Structure 1
């Protein structure tokens, strides 16, 4: 076969007697098996030799094709070189002629494994291009992280959690922020710094803290207007601080802090006020309009306890720290205490 992707030596496995369009089944020395047509032979096909085939030749498996191709190569039959084409207009171009001479003079031109080396070179260049693309993506990601970090520093500097300048230092407010591990850590720190949660009793504090922990399955679940006047005021102030913080985060092109969600406040308030599990679950139904399973109730209680412990450690006054401690004690009872054990 002198043209096409499968040019080279081939052995006929199954002749075709169709005189109009014969398509014999062949196998090449490169282990390709298929039928060829007249279009694969611009010149009449030449018989270069013969080889003995086994009675049952299986070219449907890779092993069968591999063994037969190896036998074909071991016959010693070589494909004749094609006749040189007549010189066309391109041969008169001095640049093309020079390039052809350089190719022919290259040390690899006469190497028997030249085609294999060419494929290796192609693979090298492809992998090199892919590696460069990956490096560019990694650099872009690194730059994106650096920009995000700079924006966070700018926001924290603006809110006086770190000092300004080339070598920013953590302020007292920043040290308090570092003790809070929450998705809404900056909002919690702002509430502590501005004293929004000061004066709340244990059950009231648990309810207000739950709004920055709990996340309803339904969007748009805001704080629920219930409870004592002091608690409602704390909820309103928490929402007010969240709006301020969200505005600043958007201005600095940062993801905004999630809106406080009051869907669990009534349930945790009832439970921390020494209510029963049934009363707490009914309070959750009344406030959110959807049922809350006992398992979900315990899970959210555990998360509220975690944040209350952080509030206790970062509180600005002993009174708030004590209220957080009592709130944890009031919540950690019954099924919640059993879950912790």
Structure 2
């Protein structure tokens, strides 16, 4: 029969196994799912942070695009994956606020079923018009809309922040517009530039090139103040709509139950990466703001954003695609 000392040694050795396994993390490649099409803000931010994590963690970090159902398909896959610290998702307002609020069959709770690791930031939304639209300012556009001219506005898709912000703009300005959802910002920009859709509610990162190139006219930006990269672009706030301040945000999340030491290390490495001068310069060009948050702070942020935007999505009868 084993001695008491032998049993104690065995118990201590067994208890140490998980700790050693966590200390060895990561020991194989990591995967980050971007639940939207390539080329959008989620994909861009995901690849930026993946490149930096690959260096700091010493393992390949692969970004996989898995679009569908307003971000639900990719997010659900991660929620159902093993919480071992090797599978993550670029979480965001469309996938983790809007989709669960309007889709009872989403299959996940945006807080309970995830380990929310770090906030990545995101670009503001800009309201743009085709150059054929006579409005040169937001006030002129609102006057035209109130005067009986019916405009349509494009967005990157039903349930995206561009869509929700368009609804918030209509509600605040007391105007009516028709929403045209696209499958991604690139498709929406093509039609706005071409003139088949007169206006758009688009992330600045997606519209920046067309604005700088004079292909579209930007009427208002959702930042609280004018960004250094667009000093001539007026904000909604300075034009009489202070409540229309918001951004399309993204973060890094994984399945619920990831060991705390892994979450803490990933948070540290992600915050460090987003603070690098080369990353800051890359984001600043599109007025994208990266804010440092702990895991707990990012989780609370999602809860706050849900309280703000979920009622708007439900009231408007939004259906994610």
TM above 0.5: no
Higher helix share: 1
Higher strand share: 2
> Of the two structures, which has the highest relative contact order with CA contacts closer than 8 Å and spacing of 6 or more?
2
TM-score between both structures, scaled by the size of structure 1:
0.23
TM-score between both structures, scaled by the size of structure 2:
0.24
Q: Which has the larger radius of gyration?
A: 1
